[in-house]
Amino acid sequence: MQAYPKHYCGVFGIYGHPKAAELTYYGLYALQHRGQESAGIVTCHDGAFYDRRAMGLVPQVFGAEHLDRLKGEMAVGHTRYSTTGSSLAGNAQPIIVDCNRGKIAIAHNGNLTNAATLRDELEAQGNIFQTTVDSEIILHLLAQPSPPGHRNTLVESIRRIEGAFSLVIMTPNELIGVRDPHGFRPLSIGRVDGAYVLSSETCAFDLIEAEFVRDVKPGEIVIIDQNGFRSIDAFPLHRRRALCVFEFVYFARPDSNLAGRNVYASRVEMGRQLAREHPIEADMVVPVPDSGNYAALGYALESGIPYQMAFVRNHYVGRSFLQPSQLIRDFNVKVKLNLVHDLVRGKRVITVDDSIVRGTTSKARVNSLKEAGAKEVHVLVSCPPHTFPCVYGIDFPDRSKLMAANSTNQEICEYLNADSLSYLSQEGMIQATGLPKNSFCTACYDGKYPVPYDPKVDKHIMERRRSEVQSLGQVVSEQERQGRFI
3 state SS of 337: strand
> Can you tell me the distance from the alpha carbon of 349 to that of 360, in angstroms, rounded to the nearest whole number?
19
Catalytic residue, chosen from 9, 44, 383, 413, is: 9
Q: Mutual orientation of helices 360-371 and 409-416 as an angle, nearest 10°?
A: 50
User: By CB neighbour count within 10 A (0-12 exposed, 13-18 middle, 19+ buried), where does 97 fall?
Assistant: middle
Identity of the amino acid at 35: G
3 state SS of 173: coil
Rg value, the chain, Cα: 23
Q: Do 9 and 3 meet the contact criterion of CB atoms below 8 Å apart?
A: no
439 secondary structure, DSSP code: G
Identity of the amino acid at 407: S
> Can you tell me the distance from the alpha carbon of 57 to that of 143, in angstroms, rounded to the nearest whole number?
31
How many other CB atoms are found less than 10 A from the CB of residue 292? 25
CA dihedral 184, 190, 196, 198 (to 10 degrees): -20
Determine whether 9 is an active site residue: yes
> Can you tell me the distance from the alpha carbon of 277 to that of 279, in angstroms, rounded to the nearest whole number?
6
Q: Which of 81, 91, 36 is nearest to 476 (CA)?
A: 91
Active site residues: 9
